[in-house]
């Protein structure tokens, strides 16, 4: 596809979505960016115990895909899921409180960064098991299918999960049973410290997924419109009873795998290049500015709003109480010894 064709396609997609909606998406990405920047700072300051996995740079994948869903649709994330949780509608206050380990956190302060959950918003959580988010979503999709509910389930996985067997077991069953399931691979090029070129054979993750007999597409994960369009199409297909779709969104994380990662496996010039030429926030901002739908004053207002939302979330987390230790049940049953009859 030529640059002219790409530009025409993006203009059509932007027109279909509408400028007001695009400004809301931009505001949400700015909130996530600010949330992640502050979370890294707070982790280094020992305010957030246990460290975090920042999603800075991957905002367009979460916002673009989740804005294509309905509130009844289910989402399950990865160990790197702050952006999924916030895009699904979890309040920044309760997410930040959870990172702090406070009682007002979305998991009561018991889960932390990798175990965010809010069933009331159909966010079935993040977890630290590579590829497990697809399993949670696939199981939800099976329930929807059996109950004939008009909803879909979305599971996220990273490129490292593309080399994990359970990922493809979930994809296989979803394809076999034609479940209302969307698998989204956030390919940020690095599985911890290993570049995908050193760990995966084949041309693409989507190409590998296509072998399971379902539509598999690759999109620019820094282009929120492309992510949204692919997810919308996949959702429509699922609701028609035509089964799952696999989406590989090529993106990039600006921070290391986790807080404290020395990042000696990639050049600083590579990170700078992605920030300067392919940043998802800058890309949407330029489009809105070019269309005459956003000026400097309007953008500054969105930035100010993001700063205020995240500052409020931090203040809320600071003021939130610690979980009551009296509510922890330590009376586990005595272990059973196999073969003794006890």
Strand order across the beta sheet in which 245-250 lies: 74-76, 153-158, 181-187, 245-250, 216-220
> Contact, 203 vs 266, CB < 8 A?
no
Q: How far is CA 270 from CA 275, 303, 306, in A?
A: 9, 26, 27
Lowest mean pLDDT among 4-18, 109-123, 202-216, 282-296: 4-18
pLDDT given for residue 314 in this prediction = 98
> Contact, 246 vs 185, CB < 8 A?
yes
Listed in order, strand segments (DSSP E) in 40-170 are 74-76, 153-158
Alpha-carbon span 56 to 80, nearest angstrom: 10
DSSP state of 120: G
Q: What is the pLDDT of residues 286-309, one digit of tens each?
A: 999 999 999 999 999 999 999 999
Q: What is the pLDDT of residues 251-263, one digit of tens each?
A: 999 999 999 999 9
pLDDT given for residue 10 in this prediction = 59
Tell me the sheet residues that pair with 219.
Answer: 249
Query: Is residue 340 very low, low, confident or very high in pLDDT (cuts 50, 70, 90)?
Result: very low
Tell me how many degrees the CA angle 240-242-248 measures, rounded to the nearest 5.
110
pLDDT given for residue 17 in this prediction = 86
Give the number of other Cβ atoms within 10 Å of residue 314's Cβ. 21
Q: What is the pLDDT of residues 39-87, one digit of tens each?
A: 999 999 999 998 899 999 999 999 999 999 999 999 999 999 999 999 9
Query: Is residue 338 very low, low, confident or very high in pLDDT (cuts 50, 70, 90)?
Result: very low
Share above pLDDT 90 across residues of the chain, in percent, rounded to a whole number: 87
Alpha-carbon span 301 to 79, nearest angstrom: 32
Report the pLDDT averaged over residues 190-203: 92
Mean model confidence pLDDT for the chain: 93
Query: Is residue 325 very low, low, confident or very high in pLDDT (cuts 50, 70, 90)?
Result: confident
Report CA torsion sign: 41, 63, 128, 123: positive
Alpha-carbon span 238 to 55, nearest angstrom: 28
Better-scored residue on pLDDT, 340 or 96:
96
């Amino acid at each position: 596809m030529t640059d002219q064709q790409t530009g025409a396609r993006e203009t059509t997609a932007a027109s279909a979505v509408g400028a007001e909606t695009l400004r809301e998406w931009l505001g949400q990405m700015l909130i996530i960016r600010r949330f992640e920047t502050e979370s890294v700072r707070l982790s280094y300051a020992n305010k957030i115990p246990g460290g975090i996995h920042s999603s800075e740079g991957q905002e367009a994948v979460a916002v673009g895909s989740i804005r294509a869903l309905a509130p009844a649709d289910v989402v399950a994330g990865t160990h790197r899921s702050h952006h999924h949780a916030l895009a699904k509608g979890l309040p920044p206050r309760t997410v930040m409180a959870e990172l702090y380990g406070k009682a007002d956190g979305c998991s009561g302060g018991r889960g932390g960064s990798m175990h965010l959950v809010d069933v009331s918003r159909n966010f079935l959580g993040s977890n630290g098991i590579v590829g497990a988010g697809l399993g949670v979503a696939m199981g939800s999709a099976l329930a929807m299918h059996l109950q004939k509910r008009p909803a879909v389930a979305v599971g996220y996985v990273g490129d490292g999960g593309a080399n994990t067997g359970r990922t493809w077991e979930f994809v296989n069953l979803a394809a076999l049973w034609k479940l209302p399931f969307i698998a989204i691979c956030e390919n940020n090029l690095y599985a911890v410290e290993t570049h995908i070129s050193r760990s995966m054979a084949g041309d693409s993750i989507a190409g590998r997924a296509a072998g399971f007999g379902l539509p598999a597409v690759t999109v620019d994960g820094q282009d929120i419109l492309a992510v949204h369009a692919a997810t919308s199409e996949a959702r429509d297909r699922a609701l028609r009873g035509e089964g799952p779709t696999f989406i590989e969104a090529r993106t990039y994380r600006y921070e290391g795998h986790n807080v404290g990662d020395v990042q000696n496996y990639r050049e600083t010039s590579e990170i700078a290049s992605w920030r300067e030429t392919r940043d998802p926030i800058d890309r949407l901002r330029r489009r809105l500015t070019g269309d005459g739908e956003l000026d400097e004053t309007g953008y500054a207002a969105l930035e100010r709003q993001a700063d205020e939302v995240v500052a409020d979330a931090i203040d809320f987390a600071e003021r939130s109480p610690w979980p009551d230790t009296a509510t922890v049940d330590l009376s586990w049953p005595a272990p059973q010894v196999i073969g003794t009859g006890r």
